[in-house]
Each structure stands twice: as C-alpha cells, then as structure tokens.
A and B are shown apart, each in its own frame.
Chain A
C-alpha cells in the first residue's frame, strides 16, 4: 500500500505576510495504519502542515500527494452553526467531509452514540459545552471512513473518559489501516500513541524519530531558550534592571535540563535600582505553552524595600512545579507598592520544561501517591 500522505520539500510562504516561511523544506510521510505526531511550539508550523495535509491550501514549493478521503476534525465553533440542532449539524458536517446522504443516514446513530449526545441531539448546538462540540466533531470525523485522519488538539477539551475513548478509537482506526496525523501539546499522549514524531521549530523539521527521543530534543530546544547570564536579560527600563534570573533546583543549585513533575524549584533574581525607588511589590506569572496562564501571583505581605540608585537586591521565590508535561515560561514584574507605576516588566524571563509523569495525563500534577493495604475480611467483620 502506498502512503496516505507524502510531502517532499514542503515550503509555505503566506501571501501578504512578512515574507518569512511558515514552513520550510519539510518532508512528511504517513503510511496506512501509522500514527505520526507533530510537536513544536506555537508558530512552529504545525497548523500550516495540517492545512497542507488537509488540502485547504497549496504548498509554495514542494510536492504533496494525499489520499482521496481525508477527514479533518472540524474545529470547535468553526463548522458548527449555533442555531441548528446537533442533528442538522451532523448532516451538514458529514457532507462537508464528503459523506453522501445515504451514508449519513446509515451511520447517524453510531455518530450520536459515540458522541454520547443522544439526549441533546435535537437541541441547538449553541447550548452545548465546548466538550460536547468536540465530541460531535470527533464523532463525525471518525465515521467518515477516511484514509487519513487529521487530529488537531483533540485532547485539549473533553473530559477524561472521552479522551480515553478518542485515543481508543484512534488506535482502532490505526489498526484498521487508517493513517493518522496528530498534533498535540500533550506530550504524554504523543509518546503513548504515536509511532513516529516530527519536531518542528521555526517552520523547519528539527528532528524526526521515536516519540520519546523527539520529545527529549523538544525539551532540550526549550531549555536552550533559558537565559543564564545577566547581560543577556538585563532589562534597563522604568527604574529597575534585572541583572540575573534563573530557575534552579534548591537541592543542586543547578537548573535541570527537564524538571520532574511537582519538583521543588527556586526562582533567583538579582535586581538593581537605576533610580530612587519607593517600596515595591514583586509579581510573577507562569505561562504554559499549551494552556496559557497557570498562575499569576504577587505577595501581599512581603514588599521589596525602597532603594537608592545602584542598590542591588536578591529575591528568591520557592515554587512547586505542580504542572503537567510541556513547556512553560515565567514573566516577572515589579511595581510600586501603591501600584502607581511599573518599575520592571520582563515577559518570559525564564523558560523551562516539565517531563511527563508515567501513567498521568492532564494540565496539572497532583503529586499523587497510593497505598494499598490488604485487609483480612475477618478483621472487618469483627
């Protein structure tokens, strides 16, 4: 059998853009019955590659062969018409994906069963939650009998049982010979399900291979962005300079390449006053590359003292990295205590990556533990 997707030397430059390539000289190949994952930061070219695979846009250069029946997941809110019922939307979306009226009728019940939306299928979909949209979109896509399925962030919404169901379905389809191209920020899921993984960086194919190896390089790539010297990050701005910033493990005084989930970390900063400053409050914000804001925080009690020009102060913040796998960045800021002005603002002062916890999935890490104690039934009875 021949590949369901085969692209050679794919480049894409958007017309009217800044002239840069969204994708540059990328090779991609998906065989029937193969799951290929694409990882990379936002703007790395993942969506462009999916668009090319879906045939909605053409490569600027390069050759692309795709199977006849390609099913994209219709985005939440994109292909659904809020006023129409779930039933009508299934009909419209299934036909947009190339199903005939008879096919829609034939597998309508299966679609609704799979989406678990039988009780609301005649309600307008504007009453649905985003998880319900996603379920319906996924259910339609997997029932169109595709040769190539394009899965874009399917695991971002929907509750855990449905995510498990989706992944099961993806495996079943793979076993039935469907090729699957899979984009996700959920690195644990990627490692779990994909046979091969492509890492895109700035539109280029950074590396390709076993998911675990590629994810490790992804983490290393994130790590390279961590600034370590004061000169590189010095932000001479509205009154304070950030001389040095690093996120280290308190145990080793070193930044690890990849953090373990729920590992204890210490953010160390050195600030210098360039002007006479009032007393100040320090704030930080931790952002996830996949889900955005994780936590924004400023201490109500502990203020930075008023400083004279040239004064230097060291700040240490203890953090528990109770987040799921992925890439993160930390914004730091300092404001006058009365919030009258911002003295320092440094977005993405530090970047770091967290590895996956085996057997776990999701945006947080609860540092779980389990104790199982066999108890004799006789004891319970007495």
Chain B
C-alpha cells in the first residue's frame, strides 16, 4: 500500500470513527459541543458562585478550553490503546499496516476537537467574549497535543495487545491525572515548588500554549519544551516498538 493511499485510508477510517460516534443520536454532532459546554458551565458555577474564587480571569473560557483539550487527549489515548484489540476482526483479515487502527481512532477524536475549537473561536468572537486569538500558538498547541496523543496511543496500543491490563491502567491513570493537570485551575497560582514539578506533566505545556492563544496569557515555554520533548520521545520509541510487535498482532487478538 503506497503512502498516499494509506493516508487516505487513515482519513476515511478517522471520518468513519467520528461519524459512528454521533450517528445514532438525535442531536448528532451537537453532542460534541454540549458535553464540554455543560461540564464547563457546572465547573464555572461551582468555582465562581459556590466557592467564590474569582482569581482566574475569564474562568468559563479558561475551563472550557482546558476540558476540550483534556477530552481530546483522554479519548485519543484510551481509544487508541485498545484500537487493535477492538478491531480484531480486521486485524486478523486485512493486510493493512496495523498502526492504521490507533491512528484512525486519534484522527476521529481530532475531528471532534477541531470542530469544538472552530465553534469556540467563532462563537466567542461573535459574542465578543474572546480575549484574543493567536492562530499560530493555537495551531502549535494542537500539533503538540496530537503528537503526544499519537505517541501515547501507539506505544500503549502495542503493549495492550499482549497485556490487557494496560487498558484499565490507562483508564484509572486518566482519572487521577485530571487533577494533576491544570485543567480546572491555574498553575501560576501554585507554590513555585509544585509549579516546577507540574511542568513535567506533558499536558501542562499544551494547555499553556492553548490558553496563551485564546486568553492572552503568557506562554510557559519551559513547560512547552517538556511537552514537545515528551512527544518526540514517545513517537521515537512508540512507533518502532509498535512496528516490531505488529507482526504478531493477528495471532494475539
């Protein structure tokens, strides 16, 4: 299969995954917008009205952007991890590169995320609530996050085929990692020691970039550096590991 044809296959499968997700619901793709909006609304209510924390400017937008990014990352990695096992019928039958399966899961979730971002930027622009939009920084944050999502997915997916515990490990890790990632709070308000530790969370830099792009905050370039390096490392390790193990997948699923 030549590379152009293969990329086309990844695209078609990504679109299929995206469509399959919303196809049977009445509201369809609108759910992709309702879910983060509802979550951000509840969190804003809790922190602004109940706890009366008014320290983070534009908190609703802050938390909404955080949740969208986090969901993209979480759904990509959780779905990507089990992608080969979930597609066992095809893995056993069709001679396409096995990496197609985790990639098209990430691709499907990416489509949701991009749609959310477009609606967010357009909606906030129309209502005048958007502080700023720096397309370059926004694009950079998406690219770095995509690289992280692919790196984690591919590596974990290749391990998940022989160690099915990985899936549960990943799911429970994400529950905890949510609180260790500045999704609903502002890391710049943490004590310096915690702050410097948090920079080692690869999602910290991604969120810093995204919020710099949307909310005119300053970029924490040290954290971005960690994110970028982590993404490159994961890809450099994950893809060769996946390819070496892929030969046995059809026998193991």
Contacts and interface: CB of A to CB of B under 8 A. Distances in A.
Interface stretch (B7-15, B36-44, B142-150): B7-15
Interface string A86-101: 0010011001111011
A231 interface: no
B231 interface: no
Nearest to B90: A79
Contacts, number: 73
B134 interface: no
Contacts of B91: 56
B197 interface: no
A16 B245 CA distance: 14
A250 to B, nearest CB: 47
Interface in A61-80: 70, 72, 74-75, 77-79
Interface stretch (B18-26, B67-75, B201-209): B18-26
Nearest to B92: A56
Interface string A28-68: 00000000000000000000000100111110000000000
Contact of A92 (B16, B24, B162): B16
A56 B94 contact: yes
A154 to B, nearest CB: 14
A81 B92 CA distance: 16
A167 B241 CA distance: 43
B94 A79 contact: yes
B96 interface: yes
Contacts of A83: 20, 23-24
A88 B16 CA distance: 8
A88 B19 contact: yes
B12 A78 contact: no
A119 interface: no
Given A57-B250, A84-B23, A95 B8 contact: yes
B252 interface: yes
Nearest to B100: A96
Interface string B118-137: 00000000000000000000
Q: What are the 4 tightest A-B residue pairs by CB atom distance, in nearest-first order?
A: A78-B89, A55-B95, A56-B250, A57-B250
